[in-house]
Each structure stands twice: as C-alpha cells, then as structure tokens.
Amino acid sequence: MGQQVTRRLQPEDQNANTWNSNYRRQNLLGRLLRNRSSRSQSPRMTQNFVDLHLLPPELGLEILKNLNATDLCLASCVWSDLANDESLWEGLCMTHWGSCSAYHTWKSERKSFKKLFMLLDEGSLSFNTQPEWGIQYLIEHGVLKDDVKDIAQFFHFTNQLCWQKVRIYLRERQDVLEEMIKLQSYKDQFLPNALRKFFHAVDSPTSRGDYLNLLIEKFAERFCIDNPNLRLTPDVITILCYSLILLSVDLTSPHVKNKMSKREFVRNICRAIQRDADHETVVDRDFAGHLYDNVYLVGHIAPQRWESAQSLQRN
C-alpha cells in the first residue's frame, strides 16, 4: 500500500519540482527588472540588484539581448563572460547590417563579432562623412568584398547609412544601383505602392534631373519584368510614375491652393499616354482613378524625402 502511494506521488513531485524551479527563475527575473526600473528613483534599491550570474546563462543572455552596443560594453565590465558572448555581438551586427561579406567566413575563422561590430560601425561613420572612404575602409579590413553585388546587398540591408550619402555614391556607381534594383521585387504590387517601395530603397532625389530620370527608367524596366501580365511598356510606366509624383506634390504641398481633381488626373493621364506612347496602349480610366485614390488616401509617393518638391513642378 505504501509503495503504491509512493508511486502515485512521483509524477506530482516532479511537477512540483518543475513548478518550483520555474517560479524561482521568474522571481529572480522579476526582482532584476523591478530593481532596474527603480534604479533612477531610489539609489538605495541598487543594493538589492540581482547579479546576472545567479540566473541560468540562457536567461542572462536573453536579458542582455535587449541592450545596445554601448550598454553591452558597459555590462561587460561587470559580467564579462556573458556580455562578451559571441551570439550577442553577432545579433547586433545582423540587426544593424543585415548583409556583409564577412558573415560568410567570420565564424568559421573564429574571429570576434565584437571586433566586426566595431569595424562595421567605424566604416559606416566614415561612409556618412565621405562615401568612398567608408567603402574603402570596409574593403581594406576584410569586412566587404570589392564586388558590385556585395556592396549592393550591404546598402540594401542596413539602416546605419545616411541616404543622402548613398545617393551620392550611387550616382557615381550606376552598376551598384542596378544591382540594388534587382534585389527589389514588385510582383503583383499596385504601381504606387511599388514606387514607394522603390524610393524607400534607393532614396528619391529632391528635384527633377538626370538622376531622377535614370531612377524612373530603371524602375519602369524592373516593374514591367515583374508584372508581364499587365501588358504595359516601360514608356507607359514612366509616364504613370511622373504623373504620380506630380500628383503627390500637388495634393500634399500647402503652397498649392487649387488641388487637382480626380477627373483632371484621369483625363491628363489618358491624353499623355495617347500622345507619347504607343497608340495601341490604352490605360483603363478606372485604373487611372485607382491611382489617384491611392495617392489621396495613402499619401506621398516618396514621403519625407522630397525636401524641394516645388522645384519638380517648376521644372
């Protein structure tokens, strides 16, 4: 009888031990977070700050993942083993620079991801001062290959570069620009939304000129390749893109008092295509109306990018 009772209690004891273990972890984590949030309010509370070494390593790493690079360096002064973990610095690198040539070999060569982060950060700062210097710095330190595709992917998957400097670099390196456009996919996307995505990736110029003409030309070619079912030529897409840009300026600029109506926009598009494009190409009036509705409801084709939007209308 006693043995039967013992056997019946074994599963319950295991569940109780598991529950107690989870409870202790949650209690430690709760104390850690509470003391961290109250540090600025009461300096005396820092005496009860829970040491991360008291936590399981995987839980300590999960907490440190929420720190940026500066805070992680400070944390390494106290928790050196945890804060210098390669997985933390690899995650920071991938978060800020989604693609770079060094990722393919850095881990297999057992190099420090903390050092890689410092190199990427220094290279990005140099790029934001002088684009050529930044790229040359990354190439010389083995972080980036001197390859068009690698440079294009580096630009495409990072949020650490000044896009005005990227624009300057792309004007000189049209081969990199073409590779960046190839990384985009506009399949089954409505034209205004695809154009927004394009300008978000390559950054729109602030006025009309040769660079804008080049961008629209490249976009039109790519859009037609991704959407052959629309049966629209690059020339027609180019006309529609300029019409959308002008409409965006007209509807969003506070200096334009008499806004373009939907009827005027549809009429202007139909006339422009009949005059400048193939006579066999016909844009449905309902389709043109949907273009107007999208800009009216969603907003500018290149939001927060066109600092001198009025110059496009004047030209």
* Better pLDDT: 132 or 271: 132
| Count of beta carbons in the 10 Å neighbourhood of residue 78 | 12
CB 299 within 8 A of CB 252: yes
Entry pTM: 0.65
Q: Is the CA virtual torsion 294, 308, 199, 174 positive or negative?
A: positive
Whichever domain contains 266, its CATH number is 1.10.1000.11
Regarding whether 202 and 276 lie in a shared domain, the answer is yes
218 and 267, same structural domain? Answer: yes
Q: And the tokens for 160? A: 């650490």
For residues 220 and 266, membership in a common domain is answered with yes
Does the pLDDT at position 44 exceed 50?
Answer: no
How many angstroms separate the first and last alpha carbons of the chain?
Answer: 97
Cβ neighbours of residue 284 closer than 8 Å, sequence gap 6 or more: none
**Domain identity same for 126 and 153:** yes
pLDDT at 285 over 90: no
> Is the domain of 191 the same as that of 299?
yes
138 and 202 share a domain? no
In this prediction, residue 138 carries a pLDDT of 95
Distance CA 101, CA 228 (A): 34
Residue 108: per-residue pLDDT: 87
Residues 122, 225, single domain; the answer is no
In terms of Cα–Cα distance, which of 203, 202, 166, 206 is closest to 313?
A: 206
Domain count of the chain? 3
The domain boundary, picked from 27, 50, 73, lies at 50
Q: Nearest-CA neighbor of 175 among 141, 137, 214?
A: 214
Within a domain: 106: yes
**Same domain, yes or no, for 167 and 275?**
no
For 221, residues 6+ apart whose C-beta sits below 8 A from its C-beta are 234
**CA dist 108 to 73, 87, 93, 139, 269, Å?**
24, 14, 16, 19, 56
Q: Is 158 helix (H, G, I), strand (E, B) or coil?
A: strand
Q: Read out DSSP for 47-60?
A: GGPPPGGGS-HHHH
Instruction: State yes or no: pLDDT of 101 exceeds 80.
Output: yes
Burial (CB < 10 A; 0-12, 13-18, 19+), residue 41, is: exposed
Residue whose C-alpha is closest to residue 252's, from 216, 193, 304, 200: 304
| pLDDT at residue number 171 | 83
pLDDT, greater one: 49 or 124: 124
Residues 163-215 have pLDDT tens digits of 888 888 988 898 998 898 888 889 999 999 999 988 887 766 666 677 888 88
The residue among 127, 146, 173 that closes a domain is 173
Q: Is residue 72 part of a domain?
A: no
Phi, psi of 67 (to 5 degrees): -90, 150
Kindly report each contact of residues 211-214 with a partner whose C-beta sits within 8 Å and lies 24 or more positions away, as own/partner.
211/167, 211/171, 214/174, 214/177
Is residue 75 situated within a structural domain?
Answer: no
Q: Is residue 289 part of a domain?
A: yes
Q: Which domain holds residue 162?
A: 101-173
Q: Which residue has the higher pLDDT, 205 or 311?
A: 205
Predicted confidence band of residue 309 (pLDDT cuts 50, 70, 90): very low
68 part of a folded domain: no
- Report yes or no on 115 lying in a domain: yes
Q: Is residue 61 part of a domain?
A: no
pLDDT of amino acid 37? 52
**Is residue 259 a part of any domain in this protein?**
yes
Judge if 303 and 194 occupy the same domain: yes
pLDDT of 58 over the 80 cut = no
Mean pLDDT, the chain, integer: 78
Q: Residue 53: which of 63, 66, 67 has the closest Cα? A: 63
The DSSP symbol for 261 reads P
Please indicate, yes or no, whether residues 248 and 195 belong to a single structural domain of this protein.
yes
**Alpha helices in 79-162, H assignment, sequence order:** 80-83, 86-96, 113-129, 131-140, 148-156
My answer on whether 46 and 25 are in the same domain is yes
Q: How many CA atoms lie within 13 A of 256 on its CB side?
A: 17
Calculate the dihedral angle through the C-alpha atoms of 245, 251, 257, 263, rounding to the nearest 10 degrees.
90
